[in-house]
Chain A
């Protein structure tokens, strides 16, 4: 765990060194940068806030700019900073979503915009429960590999919400940095608040596919994808990255991984859910 302290607003002063990592938005602007500083790190979200993270990631101090609202700060912390903090503390964190199928977890990973949250919401409104959206924490400490429940909300584009969410869905307040909406878990969108054993990972890829295609991928190909979707705060900390690489190698070997291609049409989601549910069941029987 880590403690978060919200400090008084302040302007974002120039940071001295080159960042060790940066995240660029599709329009080319910087969404976030990470600098190593004495005592730890600073994750800067230009125009919104600086998060000072101690070297051991046990404490985080947030310095917002004056205009940033509480909801926006909390969301940035929960979805962007916390996965990095947990990763720094030794947890395995990834950019992905998870749903409960049977008593197990199915994970969806893929680049932004490929439909992970839409697919998770589709499950969550059709008799399944969702476990995590965006910041995915995996517990590999025991014999089993578990997905840890994330925050009970799903963030997605309005067209997905309009097409899939029930009318009584609890929409949270909008955020300053995105036009996506957030839907809180509730009676009609059910959240699973207990860890679930990871059954399989589905990497969402070709959106131009004509129909639903599921292909088991080899561990080496899965490993590359796991690494691509990892949250790592300090990519220059070779011990940390090496340890992460070894643990992810075990996941890629142990957990069945699939490439999932499907047309991004809402009316196809029923078929996608069916393919995934059948696949989880057949993997479970085979195990």
Chain B
């Protein structure tokens, strides 16, 4: 949970209201994120670790820490598996 991540140059994101759409320009794969997911994406972009991201989300969204930690880990895992983010 101390890894940081980078967003490849061929991945672009657009925030629309409280949702975010991510597009992999090479593969054409797109991915939608809700409000919490969008915030996690922003924190990934800032170079935060998964632990730091979870802490910020717990504070901002007033949610149980264990749930948020699991959600952050799951989302980052999914983004990595789809090659939308890469471990540094």
Is B17 part of the binding interface, using a Cβ–Cβ cutoff of 8 Å?
yes
Is B12 part of the binding interface, using a Cβ–Cβ cutoff of 8 Å?
yes
Of B16, B20, B28, which one neighbours A235 at CB under 8 angstroms?
B28
CA–CA, A287 and B9, complex, Å: 38
Please name the residue on chain B nearest to A232 by beta carbon: B28
Q: Is the CB of A238 within 8 A of B23?
A: no
Q: Say yes or no: A249-B28 contact (C-beta < 8 A), given A218-B19, A220-B19, A224-B21.
A: no
- Interface size (B, Cβ < 8 Å)? 15
Of A236, A241, A245, which one neighbours B14 at CB under 8 angstroms?
A245
Q: Say yes or no: A220-B16 contact (C-beta < 8 A), given A227-B30, A242-B25.
A: yes
Question: How many cross-chain pairs have Cβ atoms below 8 Å apart between A and B?
Answer: 46
Residues of B within 8 A of A238 (CB): 9-10, 25-26
Is A253 part of the binding interface, using a Cβ–Cβ cutoff of 8 Å?
yes
CA–CA, A227 and B9, complex, Å: 19
Please name the residue on chain A nearest to B30 by beta carbon: A224
CA–CA, A220 and B26, complex, Å: 20
CA–CA, A254 and B8, complex, Å: 28
Q: Say yes or no: A219-B12 contact (C-beta < 8 A), given A224-B21, A236-B26, A245-B25.
A: no
User: Contact string, B19-53, partner A, CB cutoff 8 A, digits 1/0?
Assistant: 11101011010101000000000000000000000
Residues of A within 8 A of B10 (CB): 238
Q: Is the CB of A219 within 8 A of B23?
A: no
Of B16, B20, B26, B28, which one neighbours A252 at CB under 8 angstroms?
B16
Instruction: Determine chain B's interface SS by DSSP, over half rule.
Output: strand
Most interface-central of A220, A224, A252 (chain B CB within 10 A) = A220
Q: Say yes or no: A249-B25 contact (C-beta < 8 A), given A220-B20, A221-B32.
A: no
Q: Is the CB of B17 within 8 A of A220?
A: yes
Is A82 part of the binding interface, using a Cβ–Cβ cutoff of 8 Å?
no
Q: Say yes or no: A220-B32 contact (C-beta < 8 A), given A238-B25, A245-B25, A252-B16.
A: yes
Residues of B within 8 A of A252 (CB): 16
For the complex formed, measure the closest distance between the CB of B58 and the CB atoms of chain A, giving whole angstroms.
25
Q: Say yes or no: A242-B17 contact (C-beta < 8 A), given A221-B32, A227-B23.
A: no
User: Contact string, A229-261, partner B, CB cutoff 8 A, digits 1/0?
Assistant: 000000110100110011001001100000000
Of B12, B17, B19, B26, which one neighbours A245 at CB under 8 angstroms?
B12
For the complex formed, measure the closest distance between the CB of B31 and the CB atoms of chain A, giving whole angstroms.
9
CA–CA, A252 and B16, complex, Å: 9
Residues of A within 8 A of B17 (CB): 218-220
Residues of A within 8 A of B32 (CB): 220-221, 224
Residues of A within 8 A of B14 (CB): 220, 223, 245-246, 249
Q: Sorted from nearest, which 10 A-B pairs have the closest CB atoms?
A: A220-B19, A219-B16, A241-B25, A220-B16, A249-B14, A238-B25, A223-B21, A220-B21, A238-B10, A245-B23
Using a CB–CB cutoff of 8 Å, the interface residues on chain A facing chain B are: 218-221, 223-224, 227, 235-236, 238, 241-242, 245-246, 249, 252-253
